[in-house]
Amino acid sequence: MAKKSVIVHRNEGIPFNTEFFDHIQINKSAVDRRASTLTKRRSVKKEFQAAWLLKAITCMDLTTLAGDDTSGNVHRLCAKAKNPVRKDILAAMGMENAGITTGAVCVYHNLIPFAAEALEGSQIPIAAVSTGFPAAQITLEQKLKEIELSVAAGAKEIDIVISRALVLQSDWKSLYEEIKACRKACGEAHMKTILATGEIPTYTKVAKASMVAMMAGSDFIKTSTGKESVNATLPVSLVMLRAIRTYHQLTGYKVGFKPAGGIAKAKDALAWLILMKEELGNDWLNPDLFRFGASSLLGDVERQLEHFVTGSYSASYRHPMA
């Protein structure tokens, strides 16, 4: 179950052109109906469920974004990222040599050096939240400087936050220019663009913002910061995935997707994996193109894997995230 890579050429973006999204109108009731049937029509059980949960682990951005984060928290998080499942559980599944790790570790800028120290010698990249996360209420100049500093400190992935006011005002050209500037500041680091969909009032605006973000060169589009009152949902994810599919058909670029915020249970992870497979196909079931923003999900996934091995559920405290 070692992580399988697909060939993913970076999204270079395309020139701004409203013809790509002006016509978009999302039927909310149809989207909600499609999303509501997803888990009812698909069921993954037994060894197949265990395999999917191992896949989910490899697609996690194991995250700590709290006000009381310390160097010790980050070191513990990184230790868990390198060994996300207890060795006895993996051995019982015949997966002890599969090299399973999380997809990345995600931290604030000031904690990048501690993550780099803890992850030295591993292949796990550091993702840093940037651009005035989570509200993005700083100037563009400050956003670009923050990105540059995080890349210089060792972040290989940058999670930026868009200015929601530009979406609310339908100022798509300004949104494009802001994201394009952030992409340039990222250099070789991959950029995940957070739409903060819980603060976008309609699915139509979510779809248009998704298209603009990809046109501007986003490597991933991401639902949420995890700090909004409403974070990742299946309906809004469906809207964003359909935008990714359309962009791929138009340009040939494969853009990744990251749901974040509120995904805490193994059954939730399965629902998103099913959605990815049905909407975008197997290529997107890969950490190069799919990530969960997760802080507590790993503990429940590990607990479900122990149940698969032993037939019994253990107390959650036996499976700490970090």
Residues with catalytic function: 159, 222, 258
The token pair that represents 123 in the structure block: 């292949």
The token pair that represents 173 in the structure block: 């050209």
CA distance 204 to 179: 19
The token pair that represents 118 in the structure block: 């803890």
Q: What angle do CA 225, 41, 279 make, to 5 degrees?
A: 50
Q: Where is 293: in which H helix or E strand?
A: strand 292-294
CA distances from 241 to 51, 216, 273 (A): 23, 17, 12
DSSP letter assigned to residue 296? S
Residue 22's Cα: distance from chain center in Å?
Answer: 27
Burial class, 140, CB count within 10 angstroms (exposed 0-12 / middle 13-18 / buried 19+) = middle
ω into residue 134 within 30 of 0, thus cis?
yes
Tell me the three state secondary structure of residue 110. Answer: helix
- Check: CB of residue 105 under 8 Å from CB of residue 128: no
Q: Which residues pair with 256 in a beta bridge?
A: 220
CA distance 149 to 109: 8
CA distance 279 to 220: 16
CA distances from 35 to 165, 202, 204, 274, 294 (A): 28, 16, 16, 11, 21
